[in-house]
Structure 1
Amino acid sequence: MIDEQDNVYIFNHPMIQHKISLLRDKNTNSKSFRELVEEVSMLMAYEVTKDFPLTEIEIETPIAKTKTKVLTDKKVTLVPILRAGLGMVEGMLKIIPTARVGHIGLYRDHDTKQPVEYYCKLPANADESEVIVLDPMLATGGSGSAAIQFIKDRGVKNIKWVCIIASVEGVERIHKDHPDVPIFCAAVDQDLNENAYIVPGLGDAGDRIFGTK
């Protein structure tokens, strides 16, 4: 189940909320953290794909012929933002195994403070597919908005943003810059600290996924 608020879809399913609590816990080790990120991503994929179109076909069961529904030949591209977004890919692929995977990497320029693209590799004809951008955290929204724009610059029009924790500020930034992009998340936290970390958040998702801190 989800709560929908102004193109923001907040997952309130008990299993997801339980796993979010474990992700927030500073005592959760990297192995468990990675597994939880994958599990939450897999559970979120059910709702993220709820608008995928179906077509009716006829099959034969061991008992009789029947008409049933299958997914249409819809192209889907997952685009994790390096590096933390990589932790969400496998969970999504378990539900959308035919999805292709691109990657985008950003860094913040020391002088201008603006996001700079250092890597972007999308599958061929990504502009003809639905692109699901993955990043566990949506903090200030600056890098997220830039990533969406970089993808749009390559002709992509159908984009969804999927994260685990968002901040109010981040949501507002994406809405302001890209009102056409729906946001899917498991929680929206109110504050950012002086280092632009979400409060209470869950810390640096990349460090916790890869055990680099």
Structure 2
Amino acid sequence: MQVHVADHPLVSHKLTVLRDERTDSPTFRRLADELVTLLAYEATRDVRVEAVEVQTPVAKAKGVRLSNPRPLVVPILRAGLGMLDGMQRLLPTAEVGFLGMVRNEETLEATTYAERLPDDLAGRQCYVLDPMLATGGTLAAAIDFLVKRGADQITAVCLIAAPEGIARMEAELADIDVPVTLVTAGRDERLNEKGYIVPGLGDAGDRLYGVVG
């Protein structure tokens, strides 16, 4: 698995404001959206294209367009939805699927409770959206789910990642014969005893949408 930590002052600036506990939900949503667009630029460097020729007002020009089948963007519910608009801004023609996964707070294991995806993902590039890579269980399970459906290249986009989560993903996906890349705005220090990222930015879902009792 390849890990790419975006190194850009705008990325660092927006991530810093997201971390600030004084940042309210509307501002958090806007900044997360902007940050994902910047990360999407890095994540789509290997998006598949095909050669085309177009007619400009002056002459013919050679260029490229996205290949078929189109990329598939998969936000992990619910917090991943807050990243979808930012990703679609760069990939407006991509298809969108949804994957609902929940983490058991005691075992920290992830289980799937909902999915809306094509039955056959053969030949598809998939972009998985999940704000927080903490223990790595949810994201590793999501990627394994997509690989079993036939996806042949997967890029995960996360706002921040913990080293423990990265290590777990590398271990659990070691036997998967599909290229996997992680693109993130920050590699944080560690997880605490409750499995939260330190220094982190709190619960991304709650900060995006408010606390649901």
SS at match of 1:73: coil
AA paired with 1:136?
P
- Give 2:22's match in structure 1, choosing from 18, 21, 27: 27
Alpha carbons 1:8, 1:183 under 8 Å: kept: yes
CA pair 62-145 structure 1, distance change in 2 beyond 3 A: same
Deviates more, 1:156-165 or 1:195-204: 156-165
Q: Deviations over 1:38-95 (max 9, x none)?
A: 1111111111111124433332222223333333335211111111000010100010
AA paired with 2:168?
R
Given the alignment of the two structures, is residue 191 of structure 1 paired with residue 207 of structure 2, yes or no? no
Per the alignment, residue 3 of structure 1 pairs with none
Q: Deviations over 1:7-43 (max 9, x none)?
A: 1000011111110001000000000101111111111
CA pair 99-124 structure 1, distance change in 2 beyond 3 A: farther
Alpha carbons 1:175, 1:181 under 8 Å: kept: no
CA pair 33-110 structure 1, distance change in 2 beyond 3 A: closer
Per the alignment, residue 63 of structure 2 pairs with 68
Equivalent-residue separation in structure 2 for 1:172 and 1:69 (angstroms) = 36
Equivalent-residue separation in structure 1 for 2:47 and 2:156 (angstroms) = 16
Q: Which runs of 4+ in 1 moved over 6 A?
A: none
Structure 2 residue ranges without an equivalent (≥5): none
User: What percent identity do the matched residue pairs reach?
Assistant: 45
CA pair 60-36 structure 1, distance change in 2 beyond 3 A: same
Q: Provide TM-score, normalisation by structure 1.
A: 0.90
Q: Deviations over 1:178-211 (max 9, x none)?
A: 1442111010012111211100000000000002
Given the alignment of the two structures, is residue 16 of structure 1 paired with residue 11 of structure 2, yes or no? yes
Structure 1 residue ranges without an equivalent (≥5): 1-5
Q: Deviations over 1:77-124 (max 9, x none)?
A: 111111100001010001000111111112235776532211111135
Pairs aligned (count): 208
Alpha carbons 1:101, 1:123 under 8 Å: kept: no
